[in-house]
Amino acid sequence: MGFARNPVSVNAVGWAEDQGRRNEMEDGFVFVDQFGGRDKSAFFAVYDGHGGRQVVDFVTRELHENVLREMRKTTNAPDALLQAFQITDDEMVRRNIMSSGCTACVCLLQEERHARVIYTAHLGDSRAVMARGGNATRLTSMTDHKATDPMEAKRVIEAGGQIINDRVNGMLAMTRALGDHLLKMPVLPNDVVSNVPDITSTDLSREDSFIILACDGLWDVMEDQQAVQLVLECMRELTPIARQL
């Protein structure tokens, strides 16, 4: 649990994690203030690891650096995100990081000519939800990348994989992830598990108050609106507490 001290690009950033019953914490979180040296830009990400920490540690360290490098080559943020995901995944193969994997939920905030825009890129079932006028607005695409989703299952099968007990080749619940290279080329003829994120863009307005990035530990037990409402209630409690102080 923690918070960013005096961020420039946003008003406040806080984070928390809970290992639960797992043998080790496999989640990762990244916040980069003034991303790329720009006062109104920021990078946020949540990564939910599985099968060990190798991949999540690598992605936590490298993905935002690859995004930054790609953004220096193009003004097209979605292209930069797409390339950065591919480069990060390919580099793990070169370093023989093969077995573990992680989901990814990335938010890239930046100032553009017409508005302040937030881009999201996600793999797996981690999610970004924004409070807009008190209502939950899903920033990531509405589909979680899981073997139980018909369209995701169709893609897996067309790539030569199987869905066994709601898992890709009986191994993995996620249909898209970073790492998990035993389910990708060159081990298999095709990438049965994909590293291609769904990417969205949202123009921000005065109605937008905060964003929640979280993995399935939250979204499996709470709907989007419930999470937004809980944060709003906590924010309302700050005023009377401040007055008492």
pLDDT digits (tens, 9 = 90+) for 48-91: 999 999 999 999 999 999 999 999 999 899 999 999 999 999 99
Helices within 185-223 (DSSP H only):
216-219
What are the residue ranges spanned by the domains of the chain? 2-142+198-238
Angle at 236 between CA 231 and CA 241, to 5 degrees: 120
What is the maximum alpha-carbon separation in the chain? Answer: 64
Split at pLDDT 50, 70, 90, the class of 241 is very low
Residue 245 has pLDDT above 60, yes or no: no
Percent of the chain, pLDDT > 70?
93
Note the pLDDT tens digit of each residue in 155-209: 999 999 999 999 999 999 999 999 999 999 999 999 999 999 999 999 999 999 9
Note the pLDDT tens digit of each residue in 123-152: 999 999 999 999 999 999 988 999 999 999
pLDDT at 17: 79
The domain made up of 2-142+198-238 has a fold known as: Phosphatase 2c; domain 1 (3.60.40)
For residue 39, CA distances in Å to 8, 9, 10, 136, 213 come to 6, 5, 9, 27, 21
pLDDT at 2: 62
Q: How far apart are CA 243 and CA 89, in angstroms?
A: 50
Kindly state the helix (H) or strand (E) to which residue 235 belongs, with its residue range.
helix 224-244
Q: How far apart are CA 57 and CA 44, in angstroms?
A: 15
Average pLDDT over residues 229-234: 90
Q: First CA to last CA across the chain, in angstroms?
A: 23
Residue 225 has pLDDT above 90, yes or no: yes
Angle at 101 between CA 161 and CA 14, to 5 degrees: 135
Classified as helix, coil or strand, 30 is strand
Q: Strand 27-33 relative to strand 208-214: parallel, antiparallel, unpaired?
A: unpaired
Q: How far apart are CA 161 and CA 113, in angstroms?
A: 44
Is 139:204 a contact under the CB 8 Å cutoff? no
